[in-house]
């Protein structure tokens, strides 16, 4: 993957919200509709009850944009649910409900 710059933020708060902006230049990526890829990410956010923002800030290749979005989501999810003993409770309120 070259020249793709993507920003992703993930918040697990049981408030579903998806804000996906990938800026595709073509209607199709292979045999998949470009808008369906954004729909998949939005549906994932809603069904998982999490807040997800995915914004493609730079890039030219639609396939690489889609690939970077799904890879970044995987990394963000892994970091969000991993246990960090030195951090204490991963909440600004100090408790998890």
Task: Tell me if 47 is assigned to some domain.
Answer: yes
Say which CATH number the domain at 64 has.
3.30.230.40
Task: Tell me if 94 is assigned to some domain.
Answer: no
pTM over 0.85: no
Task: Tell me if 23 is assigned to some domain.
Answer: yes
Place 97 in a pLDDT band, splitting at 50, 70 and 90: low
CB 66 within 8 A of CB 22: yes
User: What residue numbers bound the domain in which 56 lies?
Assistant: 5-79
Task: Tell me if 22 is assigned to some domain.
Answer: yes
Task: Tell me if 16 is assigned to some domain.
Answer: yes
In tens, the pLDDT along 20-38 reads 888 787 888 889 898 899 8
The CA distance from 93 to 96, in Å, is 8
Task: Tell me if 34 is assigned to some domain.
Answer: yes
């Amino acid at each position: 993957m070259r020249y793709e710059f993507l920003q992703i933020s993930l918040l697990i708060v049981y408030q579903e919200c998806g804000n996906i902006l990938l800026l595709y230049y073509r209607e199709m990526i292979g045999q998949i509709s470009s808008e369906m890829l954004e729909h998949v990410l939005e549906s994932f956010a809603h069904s998982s009850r999490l807040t997800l923002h995915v914004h493609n800030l730079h890039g030219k290749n639609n396939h690489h944009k889609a690939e970077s979005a799904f890879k970044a989501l995987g990394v963000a999810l892994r970091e969000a649910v991993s246990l960090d003993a030195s951090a204490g409770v991963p909440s600004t309120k100090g408790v998890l409900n």
